Amino acid sequence: MTSSPRYLTGDAAGIHEFLDRYDVFLFDCDGVLWSGDHLFPGTNETLELLRSKGKQVVFVTNNSTKSRADYKKKLEGLGIPSTTEEIFSSSYSASIYISRILTLPENKRKVFVIGETGIEQELRSENVPFIGGTDEAFRREITPEDYKRVAAGDSSLLDPEVGVVLVGLDFHINYLKLALAYHYVKRGAVFLATNIDSTLPNSGTLFPGAGSMSAPLIMMLGQEPVSLGKPNQAMMDAIEGKFKFDRSRACMVGDRANTDIRFGLEGQLGGTLAVLTGVSSKEDFVSGPIRPLAYLDKLSDLLASD
């Protein structure tokens, strides 16, 4: 759509009308509620306002290294009250997708994980069996014997029950894990990624993100993974699978046009709301190819509705 987004800051009647249209608000977090470890003023009051009006609030993050329980602790650390049920991380999204949406043969239900403990916790919460992950047995060099065992399909190295390769951010990525993941997919495993963000912000600069863990496999396989993070709709399907909401009465709130707003638009949500406290600029939202329904200078401008 090329229509201009509505600017709601200072427009009390417009905000009131906008909020009335939705029952569910999906929030991107970093750049919307906070930046790094700095909570934006008015974040808590805005969330309280929405809750007081009976709105369902959902926190949607692509960070796969944390489980929902870990993320709840992060929210608490920043002073944001929340329940685990309100949190939707790409690690949880991936687990839901594997357990409730993918149909795997009885003997192919194990997941080979490239990633950290957040993924493992969420797979456990959905009773999905897995190998790899933080297991020290995979944090080693490849040996001459490994090449032969892989080539021979040795079941003590290549578990025949693995039917899914799930790739998230792994601070312990290594050659052996990449080699095994490649062979699992070549043998027929479904290739999934928690998210495909190439970089990860930390300490005010960028580091390799989950997408960078998938990149070698994408190049080797000539195949993209199904990504369960924003903007991929598999994540929206997984959120809907859990909350069963009416998409026409849901609104995605975010700071990035090409992930958050795109996620809401492609998910055919009733609304998309952008804020200017993160990555994308007013110019991006007003004149770019991906435009929200409305935008605000900052999230707490919603407080002017009353």
For tokens 């190439």, the residue is 198
Among the listed residues 118, 132, 163, 211, the single contact to a copy of itself using CB under 8 A: 211
Residue 62 token pair: 């692509």
CB atoms within 10 A of CB 243: 15
CB distance 83 to 58 below 8 Å: no
- Which one of the listed residues 30, 146, 237, 297 is annotated catalytic? 30
Kind of pairing, strands 271-275 and 226-227? unpaired
In angstroms, the CA 275 to CA 91 distance is 25
- Which range binds a copy of itself by CB under 8 A, 43-51, 117-125, 128-136, 211-219? 211-219
- Which range binds a copy of itself by CB under 8 A, 41-49, 80-88, 167-175, 295-303? 167-175
In angstroms, the CA 43 to CA 75 distance is 11
SS3 at position 76: helix
What is the residue-wise DSSP string for 113-163? EES-HHHHHHHHHTT--EEETT-GGGSS---HHHHHHHHTT-TTTS-TTEE
154 marked ligand binding residue: no
SS3 at position 187: coil
CB atoms within 10 A of CB 137: 8
246 marked ligand binding residue: no
Regarding 233 and contact with a copy of itself (CB under 8 A), the answer is no
List binders of a copy of itself among 6-65 (CB under 8 A).
none
Enumerate the β-bridge partners of residue 296: 275
In the bound state with a copy of itself, the residue whose beta carbon lies nearer, of 107 and 202, is 202
List binders of a copy of itself among 126-165 (CB under 8 A).
141-142, 147-148, 150-151
Among the listed residues 49, 157, 215, 286, the single contact to a copy of itself using CB under 8 A: 215
Site map (CB under 8 A) of a copy of itself, residues 236-275, x = contact: ----------------------------------------
In angstroms, the CA 292 to CA 176 distance is 43
In the bound state with a copy of itself, the residue whose beta carbon lies nearer, of 118 and 271, is 118
# binding residues, a copy of itself (CB under 8 A): 35
Among the listed residues 49, 104, 157, 179, the single contact to a copy of itself using CB under 8 A: 179
First to last CA, the chain: 30
23 is an active site residue:
no
Regarding 212 and contact with a copy of itself (CB under 8 A), the answer is yes
159 is an active site residue:
no
255 marked ligand binding residue: yes
Binding residue numbers for substrate: 230
Interface residues with a copy of itself (CB under 8 A)? 141-142, 147-148, 150-151, 170-175, 178-179, 182-183, 198-199, 202-209, 211-213, 215-220
